[in-house]
Chains A and B, each alone.
Chain A
């Protein structure tokens, strides 16, 4: 047995490298030392008898091995215990489209300012990318996966499903990124010019493009038919696809957008991310937000302090947090809206199209006269490795989204009798279509059938599914309006910047602030309004 006296900075790991001794042998001889990375200055270390410096060491020293981190996930995480010790300048609740957009915008605007940003996610790390970037996924497979991992809202037959995971529903969305047509913006408390500015910012941040179908004969021929026969507004669908090739070190693997991209971009700025952190209450003091109460799945509670709190938990969970915090507001939870959604399938003869078919993604946007939009696509939009045999008939899908009136009686409330696993009262959802909503559904379906005629498509049942059907309310996942923005606290929950009326430092940035449904898929609009709220928060800090 030899004895070695440790120098400053020595650890068993370092010494094992330096002298060429197997680390586990060294640990076994020194059981009193707590682990291989413990600093051992001036301590005696016992060496095995045979050990001499290995002859190889005379050529070159062994490479240092860094201490092994206890956990390494695909994104840096901060323990909630540690987050409790920080007072954040901004704390964001939720990592979907709204929370992700606020984080990215704040990171960009506050870079170098020393301001501290925290972000909390109720769920865990499910997927590091949009599901359709994964090689095994095609439409039916990713739908089956979504069904397995998503959660319905309990005590409700409102059909929406929630994703509790980093990235939220942006892990599963289908990239449709139209702007809200201007005729629907007229009643909003934000000017058209301002919306245009934030739409441009959002489109750039999400890589929204109409080039995905640029060279696709399938789309171009169908567009021409639509445009010539009654649908001059039809366009190549605007989609959040990064189409650039990789090279020179720059990797473009996130073709289909998810908010994970923003969480990654924001890593250029430092922020703390806590996961498995369900925010159940917002703390307020004298009309000002001071932080949030967090409960973990193992029922530990944490109190995290912040000067500005942004709720981006989604149009159903956000009012749940506000109501559970006892925050009063006539409109909080009310004016729940979504889009009515019909699905129509049809077929067209393959021979009408040239050899190089390409893919089909068309948008017929809503207008002042048309209170609905139609998304037109075909199967196999996301294929990577699927080999499709030559078809005789091509399948066409029409997804139509109709305006739903904003009504006080469509609402979410807390169920006084039922609590969830975290001790939070469950949500009750009251939602029905009005006569006007039903009239729009009829008008919308007539529009879809007219579009099919224009395109030379025969409406037909495919795979024994009905050729035409109506989604149960909520299932299209476009929940909006439960914390709508406006100037009048009687009919709105937040002001025009997303700040809860009467409470400083408390903001909402998700689908719940959208004042009226319009016809457009809400994600791009959520992002635009969230970036605007982030800019407002930065202005408030000065």
Chain B
């Protein structure tokens, strides 16, 4: 080689391993660390707690560890992936959700309960279900919070923080003729509280070096924000199976790696954010003595209506349709309208002009907490990790069925108000009822409350009687109202993080 006029650059960038889209920490290294906080799960609750702890503690030297049972799946919300369409999102919801839970037939017979088919399913991935949620972010109505162990004012302060960090906006449909015309019709015809749907979507323009490529919010953004604020250790494919409790205090977590080897991760505070089905499993496997763990399972009853509208009623610039009719004192359900067809979110879709456009109408109904709706352990059946499997008992009460009646009537009235009609796509019913679980809104199995006989955690998500052990996910919601739960779970998880910070001082 000829003599070069300038010194050759040394390859300065080391490859990092293990490494995905975010640095990972080997489990052996995590096992040698005592964490100030260890978080189990990276969905909405775990992500929010992590972000808030990182923000509050900064580079103070506090050590945060995060354990995720799933693996990296996609590094952003699926709706941000350009090859994604509305139809394919439904498909991936079905194919990635795993139905592993068994019905508790014996209990159903003992209780003489009419068995109701359900479809509770599990999804494991870095970022959890926030990778494919619909981003609908309404607040709970104050009347639903009245029985909770915190005031609406306290919750409201955290709603502000959550809405801010998740970019919740009602501007997504701004100027969209279809939404504005329909809102006008709804407001004039008996639904004065119909509104633009609040969505967790970053609509900002990219400029001055600030890239806005993550439009729909996912918990991966919590991880990204935390990563840029404070160091934390993350392991994936690692399943937490048991919390170690010594003299009424959490000491750490037993985890199992994919090769089935157990490790003990020590921590002063443990936050369980594994979801409504898995969080009670971890607590029950830890033999934590509380009669409410796993009980009071709730969801939202859900009806789906197929609606069609006449294209000629709308001007050239159609825009999209995202409307919410919130739950009120007299209305024990929420209605959501999305459309038209696949155009309520799209990237490069290009289809010919239609005479009729489909829109989707969804009703979410309140479900009352009942002790005999539960998840429990089946100690006779263990999975490949040696962890007892989950059995589920769930049915709707007479009152729940009453709400479904009201909701059906409400959906039909709202369609009338909008001047639209229902249709049967491909011979499917024009309006149908989802199986419990298909709504993805399961809640309540570690509900918060004042009375340890009927609740699992206090208002800060701390498990009754055990210091340093917290739950931060949908399972702590004591009642479900009719609002999509993610925003509320994020708000409460941030509040739990603040409480942990205040206790650590």
Known: A135-B221, A249-B320. A63 touches B346 (CB 8 A): no
Instruction: Say whether A391 faces chain B, with CB atoms less than 8 Å apart.
Output: no
A58 nearest in chain B by CB position: B401
| CB atoms of A466 and B2 under 8 A apart | no
| CB atoms of B17 and A148 under 8 A apart | yes
Q: Mark B89-118, 1 if CB is under 8 A from A, else 0.
A: 011101110010011010001000011111
Q: How far is the CA of A529 from the CA of B18 in the complex (A)?
A: 39
B103 nearest in chain A by CB position: A22
Q: How far is the CA of A63 from the CA of B109 in the complex (A)?
A: 26
Q: How far is the CA of A442 from the CA of B71 in the complex (A)?
A: 49
Task: Tell me how far the C-beta of A277 lies from the nearest C-beta in chain B, rounded to whole angstroms.
Answer: 18
- How many B residues have CB within 8 A of the partner chain? 104
| CB atoms of B408 and A59 under 8 A apart | yes
Instruction: Say whether A438 faces chain B, with CB atoms less than 8 Å apart.
Output: yes
Please tell me which stretch of B8-16, B258-266, B454-462 contacts chain A, meaning at least 4 of its Cβ atoms lie within 8 angstroms of it.
B8-16
| CB atoms of B435 and A215 under 8 A apart | no
Interface residue from B21, B85, B95, B221 paired with A385 (Cβ < 8 Å): B221
| CB atoms of B96 and A72 under 8 A apart | yes
Instruction: Say whether B502 faces chain A, with CB atoms less than 8 Å apart.
Output: no
| CB atoms of A69 and B206 under 8 A apart | no
B396 nearest in chain A by CB position: A56
| CB atoms of A251 and B80 under 8 A apart | yes
Complex interface: chain A residues within 8 A of B429 (CB): 60-61, 63-64
Interface residue from B12, B16, B435 paired with A62 (Cβ < 8 Å): B435
Known: A129-B213, A255-B213. A247 touches B174 (CB 8 A): yes
Q: How far is the CA of A128 from the CA of B92 in the complex (A)?
A: 15
Complex interface: chain B residues within 8 A of A16 (CB): 117
Task: Tell me how far the C-beta of A377 lies from the nearest C-beta in chain B, rounded to whole angstroms.
Answer: 10
Known: A129-B76, A249-B343, A264-B83. A343 touches B9 (CB 8 A): yes
Known: A245-B205, A358-B208, A383-B209. A54 touches B114 (CB 8 A): yes
Instruction: Give the residues from 186 to 236 in chain B that come closer than 8 angstroms, CB to CB, to chain A.
Output: 201-216, 220-221, 223-225, 227-229
| CB atoms of A20 and B116 under 8 A apart | yes
Instruction: Give the residues from 193 to 249 in chain A that come closer than 8 angstroms, CB to CB, to chain B.
Output: 212, 214-216, 241-249
Instruction: Say whether B84 faces chain A, with CB atoms less than 8 Å apart.
Output: yes
B78 nearest in chain A by CB position: A74
Instruction: Say whether B303 faces chain A, with CB atoms less than 8 Å apart.
Output: yes
| CB atoms of B82 and A260 under 8 A apart | yes
Q: How far is the CA of A428 from the CA of B105 in the complex (A)?
A: 67
Instruction: Say whether A134 faces chain B, with CB atoms less than 8 Å apart.
Output: yes
Complex interface: chain B residues within 8 A of A50 (CB): 109, 115
Task: Tell me how far the C-beta of B342 lies from the nearest C-beta in chain A, rounded to whole angstroms.
Answer: 9
Instruction: Say whether A469 faces chain B, with CB atoms less than 8 Å apart.
Output: yes
- Number of A-B residue pairs at CB separation under 8 A: 305
| CB atoms of A72 and B432 under 8 A apart | no
| CB atoms of A63 and B15 under 8 A apart | no
| CB atoms of B224 and A384 under 8 A apart | yes
Complex interface: chain A residues within 8 A of B229 (CB): 387
Q: How far is the CA of A132 from the CA of B225 in the complex (A)?
A: 15
| CB atoms of A135 and B220 under 8 A apart | yes
| CB atoms of B396 and A66 under 8 A apart | no
The B interface, classified by DSSP as helix, strand, loop or mixed, is loop
Interface residue from A60, A466, A472 paired with B303 (Cβ < 8 Å): A60
Q: How far is the CA of A29 from the CA of B154 in the complex (A)?
A: 52
| CB atoms of B428 and A432 under 8 A apart | no
Task: Tell me how far the C-beta of A434 lies from the nearest C-beta in chain B, rounded to whole angstroms.
Answer: 8
Interface residue from A71, A143, A249, A356 paired with B95 (Cβ < 8 Å): A71
Instruction: Say whether A253 faces chain B, with CB atoms less than 8 Å apart.
Output: yes
Interface residue from A25, A144, A251, A466 paired with B347 (Cβ < 8 Å): A251
Kindly state the interface size class of chain A when it binds its partner: 35 or more
| CB atoms of B347 and A133 under 8 A apart | no
| CB atoms of B80 and A466 under 8 A apart | no
Q: How far is the CA of A435 from the CA of B2 in the complex (A)?
A: 9
Instruction: Say whether A455 faces chain B, with CB atoms less than 8 Å apart.
Output: no
Q: How far is the CA of A256 from the CA of B80 in the complex (A)?
A: 13
Known: A65-B438, A246-B215, A253-B80. A385 touches B2 (CB 8 A): no
Task: Tell me how far the C-beta of B244 lies from the nearest C-beta in chain A, rounded to whole angstroms.
Answer: 31
| CB atoms of B14 and A136 under 8 A apart | no
A23 nearest in chain B by CB position: B117
| CB atoms of B215 and A66 under 8 A apart | no
B349 nearest in chain A by CB position: A268
Interface residue from A264, A433, A442, A472 paired with B2 (Cβ < 8 Å): A433
Instruction: Say whether A4 faces chain B, with CB atoms less than 8 Å apart.
Output: no
Task: Tell me how far the C-beta of A534 lies from the nearest C-beta in chain B, rounded to whole angstroms.
Answer: 18
> For A132, A385, A435, A471, which residue has the most chain B Cβ atoms within 10 angstroms?
A385
| CB atoms of B176 and A248 under 8 A apart | yes
Instruction: Give the residues from 314 to 373 in chain B that come closer than 8 angstroms, CB to CB, to chain A.
Output: 319-320, 343-350
Instruction: Say whether A3 faces chain B, with CB atoms less than 8 Å apart.
Output: no
A52 nearest in chain B by CB position: B114
| CB atoms of B9 and A144 under 8 A apart | no
| CB atoms of A69 and B91 under 8 A apart | yes
| CB atoms of B175 and A248 under 8 A apart | yes
Complex interface: chain A residues within 8 A of B343 (CB): 249
A-B contacts, 28 of them at CB < 8 A, read: A22-B103, A22-B118, A54-B114, A59-B404, A61-B433, A62-B434, A63-B304, A64-B428, A69-B95, A72-B94, A74-B81, A76-B83, A129-B82, A137-B21, A147-B15, A148-B15, A253-B214, A256-B211, A358-B208, A382-B211, A383-B210, A384-B211, A384-B213, A438-B2, A441-B6, A470-B8, A470-B9, A471-B9
A-B pairs, 4 with minimum CB distance: A359-B209, A249-B320, A135-B224, A133-B213
Chain B residues with a Cβ under 8 A of chain A: 1-2, 4-17, 19, 21-23, 74-76, 78-85, 88, 90-92, 94-96, 99, 102-103, 105, 109, 114-119, 171-176, 201-216, 220-221, 223-225, 227-229, 303-304, 319-320, 343-350, 396, 401, 404-405, 408, 428-429, 431-435, 438
Having A134-B76, A255-B213, one finds 8 other A-B pairs with CB under 8 Å, namely A62-B433, A63-B433, A66-B90, A72-B96, A128-B81, A250-B346, A254-B347, A472-B9
